[in-house]
Each structure stands twice: as C-alpha cells, then as structure tokens.
Amino acid sequence: MFLIPDTTYALCILKSEVVKKCIEYDSEAELIENYDGSKSQSKVVALAWCEMKDNSMLIWILAENILNKEDDPMDLLMNLYSQIFGFDEDFSEEFS
C-alpha cells in the first residue's frame, strides 16, 4: 500500500531573484488561479512540495514567468529551495 504525502502549494513573489513573499494555498487549482492573476504584475513562481518518508523534500515548479528558453530550470529551483528551506550551498555545488 502506498502512502501519498500531503502536498503544499505556494506562490513565490520575487524581486531580483530574491523571494519577497511566499503564500501557501490549499490546492493546486487555487494556486494556479492566483498565479494567473499575478504573473502580469510581478515575477512569480508557482511551486509545490511534499516531505518524503525519509525526511527529504520533493519540490517542483508548476508554473513560472521568469525563465527564458535557454535558462536551466534547475538553477531557479535550487535558488528557491535554498531561500525557502535553507538549502546547503555546498550540496548544491555538487550538482552544478
């Protein structure tokens, strides 16, 4: 039997690659609705994450209005993760 972890949905509002505000929502639909209403006014990223059984974190980007086609989304993801959860820079350098 599989245990489906609780998922957290959040809208991150950025200014110059710095998270200024991170607002949590109860559902993906509510998050996307607020993302759609904010994307024309600010740099925003719609994120979701869940804590895994081994105390690790799974995080993914649902939508964003920051990256260009040639940008690596992993760089944005690692930047957001470090700002929101205090990710260790030494660990992120191993994967760069």
83 part of a folded domain: yes
Characterise 17 by phi-psi region: left (phi > 0), alpha (psi -120 to 50), beta (else). Answer: left
Q: Is residue 3 part of a domain?
A: no
Domain membership flag for residue 49: yes
Q: What are the pLDDT digits (tens) for 13-46?
A: 999 889 999 999 999 999 999 999 999 999 999 9
**If pLDDT is split at 50, 70 and 90, which confidence band does 96 have?**
very low
Q: Is the pLDDT of residue 11 over 80?
A: yes
* 15 in Cβ contact with 31 (< 8 Å): no
Domain-located, residue 1: no
- Name the domain count of the chain: 1
DSSP bridge pairs for 11: 23, 46
